[in-house]
Structure 1
Amino acid sequence: MDSIGRKIRELRKIRNLTQEQLAERCGVSLSCISRWENDVLHPTAKNIESLSKALSANITELFPSYAVQPSESLIVREIVSIVERMTEPEQKFVLETLIHYQEVRNSLTKDSIT
């Protein structure tokens, strides 16, 4: 499995960017890019967002092992298909709604047990 550092280096080279150029696009130092590429340091969530934009890559290109595996369930596949076509704010709303639903459901389950 590729490390995040190797993936960053690979995508940077494919995009014909120097470490300096990538550092400038991400708003970090050259040494930071070097440490990321050598797996000495891992990017924060904010840095991953910057990297994604700077490299014109989606998150699954940076972290292929975290890509969503196809589900056997037709319902889940349809939900994923719909969500993939939404804007990021819409996706965040759906996620927040699902989290809230899960919290309420868990709360109701706990209340019925006690």
Structure 2
Amino acid sequence: MSIGARIRAARKKEKLGQADLAAELGVSTPTISEWENNKKTPSPERRAAIAKALNAKESELFEKIEERYPPILIDPVDLSHHFGGMLGGILGLIDVVEEINGKLVIQLNDHFNGHIPEDVDISLKLLETMRKYIKGRTEAYRHDFDLLLKEGGLDDARRQIPNPKKNK
């Protein structure tokens, strides 16, 4: 959530209009609007007064997400192994489903003497279509990820990803 959105949410929580907040802070109503619409940012000198007027902590209103949640560092090689392994696992499961589906079709053919009822046949075809789609998408993701790694789309050293669980 942006700083402006946090100011607006805190103001509404306190059931204050923009004019009310402006009067309390000694600024114009358009200034409040500019803050809330992220056109301008309140000066550091004003932030404590804004927080006090809105019964909020200054850090809750004005700290950037990156400051509240320090980033964790992920090694691209580790990311590659984990993501690649996950995609490989999905493809392995799809192969198992394909094998089970093949055995099921054989058993159904035997059970119905080669004349599988239409509704069962439609269900089997739907399952097969879904399996092919999921396998195709997973293979495409794996291909795209491999290209990203080869073309240096990930930083050579480390990639920073915000960690929202840290400091809670």
TM range (shorter): 0.5 to 0.7
Q: Deviations over 1:50-99 (max 9, x none)?
A: 10111011112203523376xxxxxxxxxxxxxxxxxxxxxxxxxxxxxx
Taking the aligned partners of 1:28 and 1:48, their CA distance within structure 2 comes to: 13
SS in 1 for 2:27: coil
Taking the aligned partners of 2:43 and 2:62, their CA distance within structure 1 comes to: 13
- Tell me the equivalent position of 2:68: 67
Q: Which has the higher contact order (CA 8 A, sep 6+)?
A: 2
Taking the aligned partners of 1:68 and 1:3, their CA distance within structure 2 comes to: 15
Whichever structure has more strand as a proportion of its residues is 2
Taking the aligned partners of 1:27 and 1:49, their CA distance within structure 2 comes to: 14
- Tell me the equivalent position of 1:18: 17
Taking the aligned partners of 2:43 and 2:69, their CA distance within structure 1 comes to: 21
RMSD (Å), alpha carbons: 1.5
Moved more, 28-37 or 54-63: 54-63
Do residues 48 (structure 1) and 47 (structure 2) align? yes
Taking the aligned partners of 1:59 and 1:4, their CA distance within structure 2 comes to: 11
SS in 2 for 1:43: coil
Taking the aligned partners of 1:67 and 1:57, their CA distance within structure 2 comes to: 16
> Which has the greater radius of gyration?
2
Taking the aligned partners of 2:46 and 2:30, their CA distance within structure 1 comes to: 14
User: For structure 1, which runs of at least 5 residues remain unmatched after alignment?
Assistant: 70-114
User: For structure 2, which runs of at least 5 residues remain unmatched after alignment?
Assistant: 71-168
- Tell me the equivalent position of 1:7: 6
Scaled by the length of structure 2, what TM-score is found?
A: 0.38
Taking the aligned partners of 2:6 and 2:56, their CA distance within structure 1 comes to: 11
Percent identical across equivalent pairs?
40
Counterpart amino acid of residue 44 in structure 1: S
Shift of 1:17: 0.3
- Tell me the equivalent position of 1:84: none
Counterpart amino acid of residue 22 in structure 1: L
Taking the aligned partners of 1:24 and 1:46, their CA distance within structure 2 comes to: 17
Scaled by the length of structure 1, what TM-score is found?
A: 0.55
